[in-house]
């Protein structure tokens, strides 16, 4: 490349035109021309034609001006941006409406709830309208549930009054005073007994009628009858005597298997033979006791602390219902080894006594079937 000499700049510029690609502008124009064609800048006639078109007046339209103004405005949006903006604005309005409805509904509910007590207190009471009274309908009352009847225990005095007529005094007047343990010096043995059959059969102890002499029975109403010995068993200390009487009051047998320790009992008899129809009170002190009487050991005895004295042997031991649960048989007053004892008496259980006494009655009367005392009492 040639450069103009500094001595004559003006002359060199007039004689030789500058190389069109010697400057950056020329380089850029050359690149544009190679890509898009020759520029109108290098063609003065093209420039004059373009300027002529621009200076030519054109009729103005309001609508076009407005649209142009919108297009030329810096905040204008094209069609795609306009749709997106409108959609976003719609979603914002919808969300705002929902949130506003929820908040407004919650505020409204809170306001209504807070005002309900005040409205209830202020609200006027409506006067009920009179309605015709319906005709009464007959209703059947429900049948009451029957209550269980309480078990009534008869009074003790009533029980004793019912039992005493069947208790007797048995006297065995010994001959020649052969009884060493007689109550009186005349050789008389006194005991008690119970009427177990209305035909005159009386149960007592064997040791009362052992070595029988003249036997006599005194009823509770003071009537006296001679008696005969029907049967006896010294191993069980039981015996039966009979008097010639009918329709006598009889005892009612109880169940000695059901008795328990501490159960209340009464003993009835004629202590010492001078105090008939005496009653003593006590409890069941022991069960299944064994005792030696006249060289015989009797087991299964009932122990009680009810007072049983000499003369009370053969009398009944009854429960609160007036049932005979035992036949009184023996007392312990003094022991050679242990000294004096108090409140120790024994009775033969009623179940054991019945097993002996009722068959004896059947054998004596010639009946094949024994007659229980309870059935005789019901006649």
Catalytic residue (choose from 237, 305, 312, 347): 237
Separation between Cα atoms, residue 170 and residue 312, nearest integer Å = 10
Neighbours of 173 (CB within 10 A): 17
207 is catalytic: yes
Helix segments in 56-78, DSSP class H: 62-72
Separation between Cα atoms, residue 68 and residue 61, nearest integer Å = 10
Separation between Cα atoms, residue 194 and residue 202, nearest integer Å = 5
CB 303 within 8 A of CB 345: yes
Separation between Cα atoms, residue 350 and residue 329, nearest integer Å = 12
Owner of token pair 């009367």: 365
364 is catalytic: no
Q: Would you give the distance in Å from CA 247 to the centre of its chain?
A: 55
- Residue 342's SS3 state is coil
Catalytic residue (choose from 166, 220, 256, 313): 313
Catalytic residue (choose from 166, 192, 197, 207): 207
Show the tokens assigned to 331: 């007392």
Separation between Cα atoms, residue 192 and residue 187, nearest integer Å = 17
Question: Pseudo-torsion of CA 215, 221, 223, 228, nearest 10°?
Answer: -30
Owner of token pair 């035109």: 17
Residues labelled catalytic: 207, 237, 313
């Amino acid at each position: 490349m040639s450069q103009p000499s500094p001595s004559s700049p003006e002359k060199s510029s007039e004689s030789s035109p500058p190389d069109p690609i010697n400057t950056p502008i020329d380089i850029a124009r050359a690149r544009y021309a190679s890509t898009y064609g020759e520029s109108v800048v290098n063609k003065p006639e093209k420039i004059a034609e373009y300027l002529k078109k621009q200076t030519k007046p054109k009729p103005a339209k309001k609508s076009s001006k407005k649209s142009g103004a919108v297009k030329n405005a810096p905040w204008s949006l094209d069609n795609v941006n306009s749709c997106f903006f409108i959609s976003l604005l719609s979603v914002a309005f919808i969300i705002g409406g929902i949130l506003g409805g929820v908040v407004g509904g919650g505020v409204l509910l809170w306001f209504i709830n807070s005002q309900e007590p005040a409205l209830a207190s202020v609200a006027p009471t409506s006067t009920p309208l009179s309605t015709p009274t319906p005709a009464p309908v007959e209703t059947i009352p429900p049948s009451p549930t029957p209550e269980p009847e309480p078990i009534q225990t008869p009074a003790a005095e009533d029980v004793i009054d019912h039992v005493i007529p069947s208790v007797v005094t048995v006297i065995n007047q010994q001959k020649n005073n052969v009884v060493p343990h007689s109550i009186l010096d005349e050789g008389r043995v006194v005991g008690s007994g119970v009427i177990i059959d209305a035909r005159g059969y009386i149960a007592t102890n064997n040791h009362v009628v052992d070595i029988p002499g003249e036997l006599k029975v005194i009823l509770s109403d003071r009537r006296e009858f001679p008696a005969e010995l029907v049967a006896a068993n010294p191993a069980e200390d039981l015996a039966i005597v009979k008097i010639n009487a009918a329709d006598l009051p009889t005892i009612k047998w109880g169940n000695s298997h059901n008795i328990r320790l501490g159960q209340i009992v009464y003993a009835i008899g004629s202590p010492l033979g001078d105090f008939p129809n005496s009653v003593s009170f006590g409890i069941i002190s022991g069960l299944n006791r064994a005792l030696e009487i006249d060289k015989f050991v009797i087991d299964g005895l009932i122990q009680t602390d009810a007072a049983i004295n000499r003369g009370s042997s053969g009398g009944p031991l009854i429960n609160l219902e007036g049932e005979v649960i035992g036949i009184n048989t023996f007392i312990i007053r003094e022991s050679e080894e242990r000294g004096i004892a108090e409140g120790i008496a024994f009775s033969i259980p009623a179940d054991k006594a019945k097993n002996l006494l009722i068959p004896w009655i059947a054998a004596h009367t010639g009946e094949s079937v024994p007659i229980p005392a309870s059935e005789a009492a019901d006649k």
